Amino acid sequence: MSHLELTRDLLMDVGGHVEMKKARAIHRQGGVRSAEYQNGVLSGETRVGGKMKKVSMEMISKTHMENHCTCLMVRRDGRVCAHIMAIGLELIDPQKVAVEPLDTPIEDRWPKLSEEGRPLSLQVMLPLKVEASWQRGQLMTGFGAVLDGEEILLSALPEGPFYIEGHDEELWQVLRELFPIEAPGIVNLDQSEFGQLLQGLIGHSQVFFGKKTSASIVAKPLRRKLSMKGERIVAKPGNLGLWQLSDSEFQPVAPGLPMRLYPVFTKGMPVSAAEARYMLAELEQWFEVPDCLWGTLPEEGTPQVIIFLEGSLRHLEARLEFRYDGVKSSCENGEPKLVGDFFTSLSKETAVID
């Protein structure tokens, strides 16, 4: 049985540029201790939440990956994360550094936790104007705690140990992944980091815009409506990328959507008449498909073939031209084009050429 070739392009396709950016940083900093790829399984040791952990991923096909990393994104959405991508990068381009730094534990200045520790609850202060901050790519966020009835910045906590429970445990783990060395106080997050934070805040009751106005982060996904734009299926993303902020409520948009389907939010997913219904049926897991869309899908047209002959009997050249409903058109780079009420037909054009 043949297995996928491990390449940078493959990692980018399955994980996306945001996770690739994180993976490169982990890789450059020597955060991968071991890496191997055998029998279609990518595995190794890398830093997850500030600690070295063994992770693996079954690479079944280009569109089917089973990631077994323990990070929040994988546990919640099953996506390909930066941790396993960093292991792949190590195999493709091994770091030329001494082994000793990799074996030296990263300095951990986080407060300690214990079942017998002092009770602690966490608070998060989001920007007052989240959308404007999102557009700038810098979202100033504060992390605090309540200890013995007193509010304190998370970064100012003593060594501990402390005891946390419920949604605070989920938030603590996400913060350990974002800030592996020490607990944050007031920091600027980029869009990717802010999105990861929101995942860890689902259901948390102590989240505020500034210090007073409560914010709610819900788990129920927002199902956007699909539509056709020319020969592509498109959907509107959230006003915060894969999140929608309405009044004081954050709602995830299409959580768990495979990376290969992300173009539906940008340039759209190109489809042929033969694939359109299959594509809509797959996207219906994450999006609303209006009844009118099923009935208005363009059908595959049959091209009129015109042959232009040039030259002499000794050297004759032929040039093909396809027309649909009298309009000159053909599939470009293997992608069908919409002509009137019909798609151009790649299979029929290929049959003529062959």
For 135-171, give the DSSP string. Answer: HHT-EEEEEEEEETTEEEEGGG--S--EE--THHHHH
Q: Helical H runs in the chain? A: 8-28, 72-77, 82-92, 99-103, 130-136, 167-178, 191-200, 273-283, 291-295, 346-353
**Could you tell me the pTM of the whole model?**
0.65
Cα–Cα distance between 226 and 109 in angstroms, integer? 47
Q: Are residues 192 and 249 in the same domain?
A: no
User: Is residue 270 domain-resident?
Assistant: yes
Q: Are both 20 and 52 inside the same structural domain?
A: yes
> Which residue has tokens 């096909």?
61
| CA separation for the pair 197, 245 (Å, rounded) | 14
Is residue 1 situated within a structural domain?
no
Q: Which domain holds residue 31?
A: 8-103
34 found inside a domain: yes
* Residue 84 and residue 34 share a domain: yes
Beta-carbon neighbour count of residue 179 at 10 Å?
19
Residues 95 and 167 in one domain: no
Last-in-domain residue among 103, 127, 148: 103
Domain boundary (69, 103, 137) is at: 103
pLDDT computed for residue 100 by the predictor: 46
Q: Tell whether 311 and 274 lie within a shared domain.
A: no
Q: Are residues 82 and 177 in the same domain?
A: no
Residue where a domain terminates, one of 46, 70, 103: 103
184, 154: one domain: yes
The answer to the question of residue 222 being in a domain is no
What are the φ and ψ backbone dihedral angles of 29, each rounded to 5 degrees?
-85, 10
Contact 234, 227 (CB under 8 A): yes
Judgement on whether residues 204 and 232 belong to the same structural domain of the protein: no
Instruction: Indicate whether 147 and 66 sit together in one domain.
Output: no
Q: Are residues 307 and 289 in the same domain?
A: no
Residue 265: inside a domain: yes
Q: What is the CA radius of gyration of the chain?
A: 26
- Please give the tally of structural domains in the chain: 4
- Confirm whether 268 is domain-assigned: yes
What backbone phi and psi angles, to 5 degrees, belong to 352?
A: -65, -45
Low-confidence ranges of the chain (pLDDT < 70): 1-2, 49-51, 76, 96-107, 272-274, 296-301, 313, 331-338, 340-343, 345-347, 354
pLDDT reported for residue 105: 55
Q: Is 73 part of any domain?
A: yes
153 with 166, same domain: the answer is yes
For residue 118, tell me if it sits in a domain: yes
Q: Do residues 188 and 249 share a domain?
A: no
